Amino acid sequence: MKMEIGVIGAGTMGSGIAQVAAQSGHKVWLFDTNQAALDKASASLYKIMSRLVEKGKMSREEADTVIARINHCTDYQSFSKCGLVIEAIIENLEIKKKVFIALENEVSDNCILASNTSSLSIASIAASCNKPERVVGIHFFNPAPLMPLVEVVPAVQTSKENLDRAKELINSWKKITVVTKDTPGFIVNRVARPFYGEAIRIYEEGIADMATIDWAMKEIGGFRMGPFELMDYIGNDINYTVTETVWIAFYYDTRYKPSFTQKRMMEAGYLGRKTGRGYYNYAEGAQNPEPDKNQVVGEAIVWRILIMLINEAADALHLNIASAADIDLAMTKGVNYPKGLLRWADEKGIQNVLDGLDKLYLAYHEERYRASVLLRQKAAFEQKFYS
């Protein structure tokens, strides 16, 4: 008999994780203090499963079985038989700590307690518990049922046994796991910062408008979505908060400095698709600007953003955040990049990437353009990331 799974938070992410666990054969307890959120999650799940039936991906009977595996609850006592409980609530460290303190009193001694945080310290969350060795980060990407990547994040307190158990469990859910060090943003939200930040900088400098930058990154760069489209999809409130969290957590390193452009969008309530207005207008019949399809400008935009992304990936490898293979896997499976950034660096030539960064640093004299020491070492010895 498969272990029972607990999920805290019936929002999009929490209900998505509950669906993944239920589809993998587990009895799931989905907790929320808001009954309306639970009702909404239930209606949404029925709609999703019905769509899978319509597409012929499962029978109605199989869909109903998955739905029946998810039980709603409004108290932690329902988690008493769970082998794993994962929280997917607001990105607020103090609130998460309170949840874990309360949770520990209701679960069995061998239950793994996990956080789906995208950027907060797992060590801080674990420190609030009497048994910190059973706390681990298990970071899904939205939408959880569709996105294959899960970042598994051991805190300094996490036991190897519990790390292995968590990884093995998530792998059994047909997910691709990467193990990452407990540092701000882990792999994906750390390495991806320049995709948004440098795009906004290019826009702020008047080099190109949003539509042109998005066109360049998609048509020339091969990315599935442009930076401004993606920020509107994620939500400018969420994207800005993650950027600010990473920036503060890295002791205000200017590489991660948030932009006033995005802050003003957030303050104006222009959060993107969910509010009908973001960098683009999503109202029916709205006319959005057409891109200037100048190939030379487009290639310059892609190169500038790409070398910044490669620099972040190289620095993550240099600081042992994860292996080269896991960093590349995380970026291709977690945010759908067309290639792994370190493999891309090998293709473009590490010396070329370094020259591009040094040119930017010479022009701006800003720390955001400082090249990773690992890039300098690789270039100096004519090495590649992959032999």
Q: So which residues are the catalytic ones?
A: 118, 139, 151, 189
Quote the tokens at residue 263: 């802050």
Closest CA relative to residue 90, chosen from 70, 119, 132, 133? 119
CB contact burial 289-313 (16+ within 10 A = b; e otherwise): eebeeeeebbebbbbbbbbbbbbbb
> With contact defined as beta carbons under 8 Å apart, do 146 and 124 qualify?
no
φ, ψ at 356 (rounded to 5°): -65, -45
Closest CA to 192 of 238, 161, 132: 238
Q: Summarize the chain as % helix, strand, coil (round to 5).
A: 55, 10, 35
Q: What angle do CA 274, 256, 271 make, to 5 degrees?
A: 10
Total residue count of the chain as it appears in this document = 387
The Cα 47–Cα 59 span in angstroms is: 14
| b/e map 189-213, b = 16+ CB within 10 Å | bbbbbbbbbbbbbbbeeeebbbbbb
Residue 336, judged by CB atoms within 10 A of its CB (0-12, 13-18, 19+), counts as: middle
Q: Residue written as tokens 């998955």?
A: 66
Distance CA 145, CA 358 (A): 41
